[in-house]
Amino acid sequence: MNQKETIYKVLRYIRKYSFQVILSLVLAALTVALTLYVPILTGDAVDLIIDKGLVDISGVLVIMKRIAVVMVITAAAQWVMNTCNNYITYHVVKDIREDAFRKLENLPLKYLDAHPAGDIVSRIIADVDTFADGLLMGFTQLFTGVITIFGTLLFMLVTNVPIALVVVCITPVSFLVARFIATRTHSMFRLQSETRGEQTALIEEMIGNQKIVKTFSREEAVRKQFAEINGRLESCSLKAIFFSSITNPATRFVNSLVYAGVGIFGAFVAIRGGISVGRLSCFLSYANQYTKPFNEISGVVTELQNALVCAGRIFALIEEEAQAPDAPDARVLADAKGNVALEGVFFQYTPEKRLIQNFNLKVQPGQRVAIVGPTGCGKTTVINLLMRFYDVDQGSISVDGSDIRHITRGSLRTSYGMVLQDTWLRAGTIRDNIRMGKPEATEEEVVQAAKASHAHSFIKRLPQGYDTVITEEGGGLSQGQKQLLCIARVMLTLPPMLILDEATSSIDTRTEIKIQKAFAQMMEGRTSFIVAHRLSTIREADMILVMKDGNIIEQGNHESLLAQKGFYSELYYSQFAIGENS
């Protein structure tokens, strides 16, 4: 995304606040006009001081009163202008963040799977903050600076054309210097922003997986990785700051040339009587005010370069292709019976790697279907397709005779209850976490669900019981306890279809036996899909699908598959070889 496109998109957000922008411009013009009026009054006061004993005191006092009134009005106008600028900036930032977060909720999972979470967080938080700083500086200094330049130039032309032409002739040097530096800082600020996002992604990943890092003694390797990224960030930041810091002294040097040129040329004009001493002092003040905005604008340009880079990253996220909306004729799935069919399904995450190929399956209401196979065979992918986290490339998946692409995503997913190997909790009380799928549940229902999942006993041992507040990471809860809470969540809602993906992987054997009994009761009359590596958990399944390389290679119940002495039999006896031999 180039700068022009980014600027256009920023202006679209600003357009919503046109009234505040116009008011800010009017106040900026008023502020500049009053500021430029002060040197005229000062020059008039100087001309009233002719010589020793020849001073018009009353005239000077009148001018001083005018200056005081002008300064008060100027201060008030600046305050209102700054308030408008703050209002515009932070409302634009609010709108951008809301759009970014709204898009984040509508992005397909393939985008989230392909981008580090830390980089996405960096875009929505750090990049938007940087953009806000640049935008605020742009409103505060850019408007005023540009108007000051044109205003002072107009005043100087009215006062004395030859001296004004001296200023105009030297000014382009400042533009050339600022342009030379600005063209070199944009790429450096872009690299700085990208590297910062990479660093944030690493930090977020390491914090979330601290136990794994320590388990495998990866502290030193992670420190080296962080040091390498940090070194690159230091290098590109120093280059960006170095070039941007040259701007101010370079433009100040040009401004000094302008001031010196006005002083020397104006002195000769004054000697010849072409301008009064008061008017010359007014002109020198204008020359200073004329060049000062160039310093400010050069600083603003540097900040805007950084802000536009960050804005470009945000807009890239906002303009990512969203998840395909529900079809216009999509119906709400109510009271699902659990009749699921997969017909000729093909799916692959990346074009170069095939995964699911010509997958066919028919599941009757109330059937328990277990999916087994080696890692990477497509078990979890089938679950992702059933939940429509991903859409099939070819073929179709239907529930109760309707293609799931013609069922609203919300109603489809509400009809499934999921317990995954990876637990997910929210910051809040234990009760809030269990009620997540059914906020209106009564206390009795919550307790009953906790008892059914065998979570009630450990919850009662917590300091505040069901009112105990936990974090997203679960606080002091063990992995098994967190998984029991996730199971209780499903026990509370009891949807017509269930997906259990390694649901008991973090639970001890004794509790697992109890949970299996609870699951058996819960699955009664409900279509259930069970993914498990421990084959002991799926013996009672009505149908077992054995998958390999995205295909069903064997299908049947536990006894029939063992009798076939095929791949399933090898998997089963590899887990229970010791038990069978004994």
CB 446 within 8 A of CB 481: no
Domain of residue 258 covers 3-196+241-318
Residue with tokens 């307790």: 447
CA dist., res. 524 & res. 365, Å (int):
10
DSSP-assigned letter for residue 125: I
User: How big is the CA angle at 402 (ends 400 and 405), to the nearest 5 degrees?
Assistant: 130
Say if 541 falls within a structural domain: no
Question: Quick check: is 106 in a domain?
Answer: yes
Q: Burial, 352: exposed, middle or buried (Cβ in 10 Å; 0-12, 13-18, 19+)?
A: exposed
- Which residue type does 303 have? E
CATH code where residue 159 lies: 1.20.1560.10
Helix (H) / strand (E) containing 451 = helix 443-452
What is the pLDDT at residue 505?
66
Contacts 24+ apart (CB under 8 A), 493-496: 493/417, 493/437, 493/438, 494/417, 494/522, 494/526, 495/336, 495/414, 495/415, 495/416, 495/417, 495/526, 496/335, 496/336, 496/337, 496/338, 496/415, 496/526, 496/527
- Structure token pair of residue 529: 């899909």
Nearest-angstrom CA–CA distance, 384 and 378? 10
Cα Dmax for the chain: 124
First to last CA, the chain: 67
* Cβ within 8 Å of residue 157, ≥6 positions away: 164
Cα separations (Å) of 490 from 138, 330, 368, 503, 523? Answer: 52, 26, 17, 11, 11
Domain assignment of residue 562, yes or no: no
In this structure, is residue 83 part of a structural domain? yes
C-beta separation of 200 from 281 below 8 A? no
What pLDDT is stored for residue 298 in this prediction? 64
Q: Whole-angstrom Cα distance, residue 203 to residue 473? A: 16
Residue 272 lies in a domain: yes
Q: Which residues of the chain have pLDDT under 50?
A: 578-582
Q: Judge contact between 263 and 284, C-beta under 8 A.
A: yes
Q: What is the pLDDT of residue 186?
A: 66
pLDDT of residue 444: 92
Q: Which residues contact 241 (CB under 8 A, 6 or more apart)?
A: none
CA distance 439 to 12: 39
> What is the DSSP secondary structure assignment for residue 326, as one 8-state letter?
P
For residue 575, what pLDDT is reported? 66
pLDDT for the residue 582: 39
Q: Three-state DSSP class for 107?
A: coil
Radius of gyration of the chain (CA): 36
Integer Cα distance of 4 and 22 in angstroms: 22
Q: What is the pLDDT of residue 520?
A: 76
- Which structure tokens are listed for 288? 């200073």
Whether residue 97 lies inside any domain: the answer is: yes
> Which residues are registered as beta bridge partners of 397?
342
User: What is d(CA 501, CA 571) in angstroms, rounded to the nearest whole number?
Assistant: 18
- Whether 26 is in a domain gets the answer yes
> Residues 38, 73: contact at Cβ < 8 Å?
no
Task: Compute the distance between CA of residue 384 and CA of residue 350 in angstroms, rounded to an integer.
Answer: 15
Answer whether residue 501 is part of any domain.
no
Domain count for the chain:
1
Decide if 337 contacts 496 (C-beta within 8 A).
yes
Position 309 scores a pLDDT of: 83
AA letter at 11: L
- Please say whether the beta carbons of 483 and 526 come within 8 A: no
d(CA 497, CA 336): 8
Would you state the pLDDT for residue 19? 92
Contact 501, 380 (CB under 8 A): yes
- Write out the DSSP string of 51-82: ETTEE-HHHHHHHHHHHHHHHHHHHHHHHHHH
Nearest to 78 by CA among 113, 111, 33, 45: 33
Q: What integer pLDDT is reported at residue 28 of this predicted model?
A: 86
Residue 535 pLDDT: 67
Cα separations in angstroms, 340 against 279, 345, 520, 565 = 90, 13, 20, 29
Torsion angle (degrees, nearest 10) of CA 508, 514, 517, 522: -90
Q: How far apart are CA 369 and CA 398, in angstroms?
A: 16
| Short-list 282, 292, 284, CA closest to 264 | 284
Please name which of 317, 489, 343 lies closest in space to residue 416, comparing C-alpha atoms: 489
Structure letter (DSSP) for residue 322: P
